[in-house]
């Protein structure tokens, strides 16, 4: 017979260990910070080992806590995957798509209405993924920017990515050549700081040492550009709608390849699911039209 600690205690510890905070764990689990702290203390008493060192500036896992957390996370992920598989077996017309937030906001969501009108019986659920999170088995599929090499997944290319500067029409009037670009007006994306370096080298300029504000996502940087705050690096398909509406323009025609492409990726055993089949077909058709 299995002798296991309290499931609530295990969930509280695992969430707190991932977040490094009782408060954040409480937000995830829908309980108070005090409730998480109490559950973890009860678990520590049951195990007779400390799992956290409580410090003034936060939590730090003990040796025992570091040994315990990865296995618990894997176990809970496995339960979630199994639950999703059982649910999906009952209803393959529910589609869970893992997608990066910028791709979702600036390309996919504005076009999803067309998919819903064509397939009103298929429920689409978007969840954070793409560059942020690796592919997960509890997703029906993911839309990823990468090289297409995800072991265990079928990866079908949608479109390639090229990048070029974008800004408001008013700001673009100030530029005659790439030499007019000053460092403080260049809007950076923290996880892709090499974008400007690649483009500037292709434009015949040395890399700038001074940069403008840095943003956590392309969506943030592009919003700053829309607000006239500087020049952002635009990636297709992130900027196609703004270019078409002339909210943003390309001050220079030079575009350089991102060296990666967008793919739809999924497990082969899901290929015949009705929701995925419809979504794949629609996505390829829309991608061809950009």
Residue 92's pLDDT band, with cuts at 50, 70 and 90, is: low
Q: How far apart are CA 225 and CA 243, in angstroms?
A: 12
Residue 130's pLDDT is 55
Residue 160's pLDDT is 86
Q: How far apart are CA 264 and CA 97, in angstroms?
A: 9
Residue 183's pLDDT is 79
The burial of 48, by beta-carbon neighbours within 10 Å (0-12 exposed, 13-18 middle, 19 or more buried), is given as: exposed
Query: Residue 132 above 70 pLDDT?
Result: no
| CA distance readout (Å), 22 to 3, 10, 15, 34, 251 | 26, 13, 8, 8, 48
| 66 CB-side CA count, 13 A | 5
Least confident interval from 26-40, 200-214, 265-279: 200-214
| CA distance readout (Å), 264 to 60, 229, 282 | 38, 33, 12
Query: Residue 290 above 90 pLDDT?
Result: no
Query: Residue 210 above 70 pLDDT?
Result: no
Residue 244's pLDDT is 93
Average pLDDT, stretch 13-17? 94
237 prior amide bond cis, ω within 30:
yes
Condensed to tens digits (0 to 9), the pLDDT of residues 151-170 reads 999 999 998 889 999 999 99
Residue 109's pLDDT is 93
Query: Residue 90 above 80 pLDDT?
Result: no
Residue 88's pLDDT band, with cuts at 50, 70 and 90, is: low
Query: Residue 38 above 90 pLDDT?
Result: yes
Residue 172's pLDDT band, with cuts at 50, 70 and 90, is: very high
For tokens 């956590």, what's the residue?
A: 216
Q: How far apart are CA 118 and CA 63, in angstroms?
A: 54
Alpha helices in 30-173 (DSSP H): 33-47, 63-90, 101-103, 109-118, 169-172
Q: Say what the pTM is.
A: 0.62
Residue 14's pLDDT is 95
Condensed to tens digits (0 to 9), the pLDDT of residues 219-243 reads 999 999 999 999 999 998 899 999 9
| CA distance readout (Å), 51 to 16, 23, 42, 69, 269 | 10, 17, 11, 9, 39
Residue 87's pLDDT is 64
The more confident residue out of 33 and 4 is 33
Residue 237's pLDDT is 86
Q: How far apart are CA 286 and CA 290, in angstroms?
A: 6
284 Cβ contact partners less than 8 Å away, ≥ 6 residues apart: 156, 158, 264
Query: Residue 145 above 90 pLDDT?
Result: no
Residue 51's pLDDT band, with cuts at 50, 70 and 90, is: very high
Contact 150, 265 (CB under 8 A): yes
Which domains, ranges and CATH numbers included, belong to the chain? Answer: 7-87 (1.10.10.10), 92-160+261-289 (3.40.190.10), 161-259 (3.40.190.10)
Q: How far apart are CA 121 and CA 193, in angstroms?
A: 42
Average pLDDT, stretch 54-81? 91
């Amino acid at each position: 017979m299995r002798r296991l600690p309290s499931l609530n205690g295990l969930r509280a510890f695992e969430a707190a260990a991932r977040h490094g905070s009782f408060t954040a764990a409480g937000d995830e689990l829908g309980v108070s910070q005090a409730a998480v702290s109490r559950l973890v203390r009860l678990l520590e008493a049951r195990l007779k080992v400390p799992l956290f060192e409580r410090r003034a500036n936060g939590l730090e896992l003990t040796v025992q806590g570091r040994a315990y957390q990865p296995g618990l996370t894997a176990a809970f992920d496995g339960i979630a995957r199994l639950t999703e598989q059982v649910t999906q077996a009952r209803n393959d017309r529910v589609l869970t798509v893992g997608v990066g937030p910028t791709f979702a906001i600036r390309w996919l969501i504005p076009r999803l209405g067309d998919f819903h009108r064509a397939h009103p019986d298929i429920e689409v659920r978007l969840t954070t993924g793409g560059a942020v999170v690796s592919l997960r088995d509890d997703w029906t599929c993911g839309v990823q920017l990468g090289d297409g090499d995800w072991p265990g997944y079928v990866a079908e290319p949608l479109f390639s990515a090229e990048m070029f500067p974008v800004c408001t029409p008013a700001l673009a009037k100030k530029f005659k050549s790439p030499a007019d670009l000053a460092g403080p007006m260049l809007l950076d994306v923290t996880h892709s700081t090499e974008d400007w370096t690649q483009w500037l080298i292709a434009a015949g300029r040395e890399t700038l040492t001074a940069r403008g504000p840095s943003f956590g996502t392309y969506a943030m940087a592009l919003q700053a550009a829309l607000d006239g705050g500087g020049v952002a690096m635009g990636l297709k398909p992130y900027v196609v709608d703004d270019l078409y509406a002339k909210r943003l323009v390309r001050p220079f025609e030079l575009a350089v390849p991102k060296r990666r492409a967008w793919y739809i990726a999924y497990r082969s055993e899901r290929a015949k699911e009705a929701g995925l089949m419809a979504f794949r077909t629609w996505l390829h058709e829309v991608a061809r039209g950009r």
